[in-house]
Structure 1
Amino acid sequence: MKVFISADMEGISGVATNQQLKTNSEYQRFRKLMTADVNAAIEGAFNGGAKEVVVADGHGNMSNILVEELDPRARLVSGNNRVMCQLEGLDDTFDGIMFVGHHGREAGSERTVISHTLAGICVNEMKVNDRVVGETEMNTLVAGGFNVPAIFISGDDAYVKEVQETLPDVKGAVTKRAVDRFAAELLHPEVARKEIREKAELAVKEIKSFKPQTVEGPVTFNIEFKGPQQAMMTTTLPTVELTGPRSIRFTCDDIVTAYKHMWGCVIIAMTATNGVLGSVNA
C-alpha cells in the first residue's frame, strides 16, 4: 500500500501567526514542529499497513521539512521548481493521499488560521467548474484525476469542518481551535501528534472505503486576483482570458492539465505583483 502526504505549515500544531513561518529565529523552531507532525502521520500510515510513503513539502519555498529528522521510512520531495506544486510526485500508483498541516481557503473562510488559497499575495478566490475551492479541495480533485482518494487531513478545527463539508468521510485530526485568522487556542504538540498518528492509522486501515473525488473534463478555472496587474500578465499564457479587471478564466481538457496551467498563472501573478521587471537591471 502506497500513501502520499502533502504537507503545509499553517495548520501544524503550535502555529498561530504568519510571523512564526517567516525566515527568522522562530522559523527554525516551527520547521521542527512541522517535521514532527509529518512524522506522526508517517508513523500512523505505516501502523495502518502502508508499505511506502512519499511526502511533498508544500509550504512557501517548499524546503521546510528537516530531512535529517524525517522518519527514514519515508521519501521527501523538497524544493520549489515543480510543475505539480504541492502534489509533485503524485501519480496513479498511490492508494491514498493525506494533507498534513493544511489551512482554510481565502474566500469563505471566516476564521481559519492563516487562511489563503495557494498564494496569499495574489489569489483572492479560485473556482473549479464554478465551485469555490481551497487548496485541499482543489488538490483532492487533482488526486482524483489519478484515481487517488483523500483519506486524512490535519489542521485547525474550522479548516477540518470546511473540508468535511465536501469530504464528510475523510479522517480529520484537529491541531488547534481557530480564534481568528492570526490567533488560535493551541493543543500541546504531543497531544496533536497523538491524534494525527491515530487518525492517520485509522485512515489507512479503512483506505478501501474511500472514493476519489473526480471532475469531468473539460475543466474551467476562474481565478480572482488581488490586483489587475496580476490578472493582466497571466493572459500571456494560451487560452487565458480576462473576465474582469482582476479576474481570469481558462479551460483545459482534464483536471491535471488545468492544475498545471493554474500553477503557471499563479507563478506569473506572484511575479507581477510589483512589476515583472522591477528587480531587473538592464
Structure 2
Amino acid sequence: MKVLISVDMEGISGIVHPAETNPDCYDYQQGRALMTAEANAVIAGVLDAEPAAEVWVADAHGPFRNLLPEDLDRRARLIRGKPRPLGMLAGLDEHTDAVMLIGYHARAGGGPAVLAHTMSDAILDVRVGGRSLGEIGLNAAMAGHLGVPVVLLSGDGTACAELTDLAPSAVTVAVKQALGQTAAVAVHPEEARERLRTAAAKAIEQRALVAPFALTGPLEVEIDLYGPHMVDLATLVPGVSRAGGGRKVTFTASDYADAYRLVLLLVQLASIRP
C-alpha cells in the first residue's frame, strides 16, 4: 500500500508564532526540528501497522523546504521544493491508498485557531459550491477526487474539527488547544509524537471506514482576496471574473481537479505586489 503524509508547520505541537515557521526568523530552526520529529512519529506509526507500506512524505509548508532530510526516517521518500504538481499533495495519485495531514491549521476566519489562514494571507476565503474550505478541505477534496480518504489529521482542536466535519470517521490528534491566533496550550512534543505514532497505526488499520470527501463537478468557485490589485491579476486568467465588488473573483471548473489547480495558481498570482 502507498501512504502520502503531507506535513505543514503551523499545527505542530509547541508552534504558535510566525517566527517559528518563517525561514528568515531566529525560531525557525527549532520549528523545523519539531516538524521533522512529528513526521517521523507518523511514519513509524504507519509502518507499525503495515511494515511493507510505501510511505511518501510531502513537505507542505511555505517554501516546501522545511523538513530536515538527514533527520527524516530513511524508510520514507521525501518530496520537497516548488513549484510542483498538486502543491501540498505532491505525490498523490490513483495508486495512493491513504492521505495523512500532519501539522495542519484551520482555515482563514476559523477560530480561535493557531496561525489560521488559507494558502496565504492574501486569501480571505475560498468557497467551492458555496462551502467555505481551508487547506484541510481543499486538500481532502483533491484526495477524494481520486478516491483517496484522508484518514488522519493533527493540529489544534479547531483544525481537527474541520476534518471531522468532512470525514467523521477519520482519526484526529489535537496536539494543542488555541487560545488565539498566536497562543495555545500545547502538549509536550514527546507526548505529541507518542500520540501521533499510535494514531497513525490506528488510522491505517481503520482506513476502510473512512469515506473520501469528494465534490462532483461542474463546480462554482468563489475566492475573496485581500487586495483589489490581486483581483486585477486574477482576472487575467481566462475564465476568471470579478464578482460582487472589488475583492471577489469567481470561476466554474468542470471537475474538482481543475478547480484545485486554478486555486493554486490564483494563490501564486496573489503574492505578486504592484
Query: 2:177 is paired with a residue of what secondary structure?
Result: strand
Please say if 1:209 is aligned against 2:209: yes
Give the Cα separation in 2 of the matches to 1:75 and 1:212: 24
If the length of structure 1 is used for normalisation, what is the TM-score? Answer: 0.94
Amino acid at match of 2:166: T
Query: 1:25 is paired with a residue of what secondary structure?
Result: coil
Amino acid at match of 2:117: H
Query: 1:221 is paired with a residue of what secondary structure?
Result: strand
Give the Cα separation in 2 of the matches to 1:149 and 1:84: 16
Map of 1:94-105 to 2, 5 A cutoff?
94-105=96-107
In the TM superposition, residue 219 of structure 1 has moved relative to its aligned partner by 1.9
In the TM superposition, residue 220 of structure 1 has moved relative to its aligned partner by 2.1
Query: 1:76 is paired with a residue of what secondary structure?
Result: strand
Deviations 1:212-270 (A, max 9, x none): 11111112211000111111111111100110200001111111111111111111111
Query: 1:165 is paired with a residue of what secondary structure?
Result: helix
Q: Which residue of 1 aligns with 2:256?
A: 255
Which of 105, 108, 118 aligns to 1:106? It is 108
Count of residue correspondences: 271
Query: 1:258 is paired with a residue of what secondary structure?
Result: helix
In the TM superposition, residue 163 of structure 1 has moved relative to its aligned partner by 2.3
- Preserved contact between residue 174 and residue 195 of structure 1 (Cα < 8 Å): no
In the TM superposition, residue 80 of structure 1 has moved relative to its aligned partner by 1.6
Range with greater deviation from structure 2 (46-55 or 89-98): 46-55
Amino acid at match of 1:180: G
Q: Percent identity?
A: 36
Query: 1:4 is paired with a residue of what secondary structure?
Result: strand
Map of 1:1-282 to 2, 5 A cutoff?
1-23=1-23, 24-49=25-50, 51-107=53-109, 109-120=110-121, 122-243=122-243, 244-271=245-272, 274-275=273-274
In the TM superposition, residue 186 of structure 1 has moved relative to its aligned partner by 1.5
Deviations 1:121-171 (A, max 9, x none): x00000111100010111111101111011000001121123212221110
- Preserved contact between residue 144 and residue 212 of structure 2 (Cα < 8 Å): yes
Amino acid at match of 2:261: K
- Preserved contact between residue 219 and residue 252 of structure 1 (Cα < 8 Å): yes
Unmatched 5+ stretches in structure 1: 276-282
Amino acid at match of 1:84: L
| Superposition CA RMSD, Å | 1.0
Query: 2:104 is paired with a residue of what secondary structure?
Result: coil
In the TM superposition, residue 3 of structure 1 has moved relative to its aligned partner by 0.6
Unmatched 5+ stretches in structure 2: none
